[in-house]
């Protein structure tokens, strides 16, 4: 690696006979190395030559290989700073099937969020994002008075599509940015150490093997109720 990095004659290209990403299969193939060996080699190459090209050989269908993924793999994503539920596939079959459900928009996700201001009514937001259709539904859970923001609204949000930052963009577009959103809100909305007040709390999908409906629901993070109760308490204290 160092020789190529210091050479003016060699092209920074490396071809790695990885064969498999599973240590178990590598042992069955009687290879004298583990996946970590190649992790270290790739890290060393990228550290010295960030723009180097790296190719690999991978064998699939080797006797003893199962449908299980070498590493559990997320089948969707959560926006940066968003907390909550994330679907992880443990097999290739599950990954493909759940991917189809997301593509066909048959998986239902619900989020809880706190936004600045008093939201007047439940509604549907249909505003394109990057020239792509985007739809977000929300309903009001509660509204509390706040000394700092006048009002805060806690909402249950159901995005029909899954554009990047969709919920954050849509709520900001109607004048109710999410608390803690430094990208689409404003600096006075930030609470040190609290992050973004947006959490994925429910998800409904068809089990990728049995095709039975699965519904998973979790409680909202403690910081949500703590903040709402604190703001309500402060308002009542100074408005007696």
Lowest mean pLDDT among 95-99, 182-186, 234-238: 182-186
Q: Is the pLDDT score of 240 beyond 70?
A: no
In this structure, what are the phi and psi dihedrals at residue 165, rounded to the nearest 5 degrees? 60, 25
Query: What amino acid positions are annotated as catalytic residues?
Result: 79
User: Which pTM value belongs to this model?
Assistant: 0.74
Q: Looking at residue 143, what is its pLDDT?
A: 96
Task: Work out the average pLDDT over 108-125.
Answer: 95
Q: Note the pLDDT tens digit of each residue in 161-191.
A: 999 999 999 999 999 999 999 899 877 777 7
Burial of 13 (0-12, 13-18, 19+ CB in 10 A): exposed
- Average model confidence (pLDDT) for the chain? 91
In this structure, what are the phi and psi dihedrals at residue 48, rounded to the nearest 5 degrees? -85, -40
Q: Looking at residue 60, what is its pLDDT?
A: 78
What percent of the chain is modeled with pLDDT above 90?
71
Q: Is the pLDDT score of 124 beyond 80?
A: yes
Lowest mean pLDDT among 53-67, 163-177, 196-210: 53-67
Three-class DSSP labels, the chain: CHHHHHCCCCCCEEEEEEECCCHHHHHHCCCCCCHHHHHHHHHHHHHHCCCCEEEEEECCCCCCCCCEEEEEEECCCCCCCCEECCCEEEEHHHHHHHHHHHHCCCCEEEEEEEEECCCCCCEEEECCECCECCEEEEEEEEEEEECCCEEEEEEEEEECCCCCCHHHHHHHHCCCCECCCCCCCCHHHCCCCCCCCEEEEEEEEECCCCCCEEEEECCCCHHHHHHHHHHHHHHHHHCC
Q: Is the pLDDT score of 80 beyond 70?
A: yes
Lowest mean pLDDT among 3-17, 54-68, 127-141: 54-68
């Amino acid at each position: 690696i160092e020789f190529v990095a210091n050479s003016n004659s060699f092209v920074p290209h490396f071809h790695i006979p990885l064969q498999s990403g599973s240590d178990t299969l590598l042992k069955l193939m009687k290879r004298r190395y583990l996946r970590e060996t190649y992790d270290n080699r790739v890290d060393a190459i990228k550290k010295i030559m960030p723009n180097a090209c790296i190719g690999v050989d991978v064998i699939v269908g080797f006797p003893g290989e199962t449908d299980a993924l070498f590493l559990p793999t997320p089948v969707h994503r959560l926006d940066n700073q968003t907390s909550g539920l994330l679907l992880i596939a443990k097999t290739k079959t599950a990954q493909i099937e759940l991917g189809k459900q997301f593509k066909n928009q048959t998986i239902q996700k619900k989020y809880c969020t706190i936004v600045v201001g008093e939201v007047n009514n439940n509604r549907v937001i249909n505003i394109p994002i990057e020239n792509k259709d985007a739809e977000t539904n929300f309903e009001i859970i509660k509204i509390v008075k706040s000394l700092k923001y006048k009002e805060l609204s806690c909402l249950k949000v159901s995005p029909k599509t899954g554009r990047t930052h969709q919920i954050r963009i849509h709520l900001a577009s109607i004048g109710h940015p999410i608390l803690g959103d430094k990208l689409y809100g404003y600096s006075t909305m930030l609470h040190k150490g609290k992050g973004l007040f947006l959490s994925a709390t429910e998800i409904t999908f068809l089990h990728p093997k049995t095709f039975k409906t699965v519904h998973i629901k979790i409680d909202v993070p403690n910081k949500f109720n703590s903040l709402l109760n604190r703001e309500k308490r402060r308002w009542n204290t100074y408005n007696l």
